[in-house]
Chain A
Amino acid sequence: METNSILETIQMISEEKLDIRTITMGISLFDCIDSDGEKARQKIYNKLMTKAKNLVKVADQIESEYGIPIVNKRISVTPISLIAAASGDKDYVAYAKTMDKAATELGIDLIGGFSALVQKGYQSGDVKLIQSIPRALTETSRVCGSVNVGSTRSGINLDAVGQMGQVVKDLAKVDPVNCMSLVIFANAVEDNPFMAGAFHGVGEADCVINVGISGPGVVKSALEHVKGQPIDVVSETIKKTTFKVTRMGQFVGDLASKALGVPFGIVDLSLAPTPNEGDSVAEILEEIGLESVGAPGTTAALALLNDAVKKGGVMACEHVGGLSGAFIPVSEDAEMIRAVTAGNLNIEKLEAMTAVCSVGLDMIAIPGDTTAETISGMIADEAAIGVINNKTTAVRIIPATGKKVGDEVEFGGLFGKAPVMAVNTNSPANFIHRGGRIPAPIHSFKN
């Protein structure tokens, strides 16, 4: 019996908050398409209830027997814009309600896939889906939506960018908190288990299990043992630590996939923070040597962290996928919140950070009077970073209706609270209103 390694594992789980952030079952809905919307929704409901019948039970059993917390059980489905398009329905809110009903009855935390892929243009289903987003996400509690507005292969759909700025505003008008269920992507991935951006891609199998791991606290704690040592040692330490963390993801995914009789898709080896103390990505950056996240050097430290996480994780599991890297959602990271409140971190620095980490401007509250065009401008900038650098980027911002810089928006639980951040108020309206499509970037002559 190797007591030291047993104690190390127990410490990682109980003190450093290593957890499985989510087991996400990806379910294809292509066989639910029907020209009659009512029939399509019935088929969707039946398929979700059948495929995911045992998901919560199996996850709870694994959690109990192995002593590893599994924080969320989730489902992702084929983008509804593709499934509902054949139905002739005028809006797709009823589809979101069907998803919500199934998720509630199954005991699933979140269900993603109220999504559209419009990087190059709209099909009829995309138009209706995007129009339905504000109501769909307001009238349901567990449904998450996403829209992909750009890709390295096809450029950026500026019409969609313009429209999504307004959708975010409309969603915030009812309740700003609803905005946390909507992500606007460039280069969206098809096997992401994390919400709000999870959907089950068209190239995926009928049903798969994807696992998202987390554990910023474990990395932070490991780095505390190498204070003052060269940056190479920091990188090595992160690699070794994420290797162990990712092994846990592989292990749990294997167990869940066998117990459910569903193929194991991927492990998403992301460092996803929570508002709990000691579960913060910003604290890792500060442990590397920054007085506060946001200081000059932040982007470099984050680039090293993100890269070392991938290097450590890829060897630890059969298939890596999803977003895989370090997340920097402001409201979900206690140290990020502190840095913003203290004036050490602004949106411009966060934007720079998104160029080197997974995802993008995430869970950021902005003043309620920010215009739709300004939000579109922010979406366009993030999309450009993703499209040019051949990586996924995303925007999940919350216009805090009726609030101004310095106020706070409370999301509760895993999602934390967000201090309202200042946004540059110079208008990009004429740029956004041009519409059309920003062409795909050239893949040579890179400088």
Chain B
Amino acid sequence: MKAILTVLGHDQVGIVAKVSTKLAELDVNIIDISQTLMHDNFTMMMMVTWDDATNFDTVKDSLSELGKATGLDIRIQREEIFDAIQKL
């Protein structure tokens, strides 16, 4: 399963660490990462993959829990949707 993870919110210490720790716990591999600050807003995108045996909702739910705990907007979407709209 290949997916795009986006994290948006106020910049704070340890965002990358917290998100990647959670991903490691879930056995999710990061294959690309991009991070920037836009008007003090932290914006991070990760391309991630994991074994199909792990349910999508399991990954999604634990990431949104992390999002709630840290006050960040964390979403995860399967990669194909971006290709569908942006590529021919």
Contact = CB atoms under 8 A, between A and B. Distances in A.
A442 interface: no
B7 to A, nearest CB: 11
A10 B6 contact: yes
A66 B4 CA distance: 10
Interface residues of B, number: 20
A1 B57 CA distance: 23
B13 interface: no
B86 A9 contact: yes
A3 interface: yes
Interface string B31-52: 0101000000001010100000
Contact of B4 (A6, A12, A247): A6
Q: For the complex, would chain B's binding face be called helix, strand, loop or mixed by DSSP majority? A: strand
A384 B78 CA distance: 47
A302 B21 CA distance: 52
Q: For the complex, would chain A's binding face be called helix, strand, loop or mixed by DSSP majority? A: helix
Nearest to B8: A10
B82 A9 contact: yes
A244 B84 CA distance: 8
B80 interface: yes
Nearest to B47: A1
A328 to B, nearest CB: 26
Q: Of residues A67, A248, A250, which shows the largest number of chain B Cβ atoms within 10 Å of its Cβ?
A: A67
A5 B6 contact: no
Contact of B80 (A3, A64, A244, A251): A251
B77 A66 contact: yes
B6 to A, nearest CB: 6
Contacts of A2: 82, 86
Contacts of B85: 5, 9, 12, 244, 247-248, 251
A66 B32 contact: no
Contact of B82 (A5, A65, A250): A5
A244 B85 CA distance: 5
Q: Which 5 A-B residue pairs are closest in the complex by CB-CB distance?
A: A251-B84, A67-B77, A5-B86, A66-B81, A1-B32
Interface of A: 1-3, 5-10, 12, 64-68, 244, 247-248, 250-251
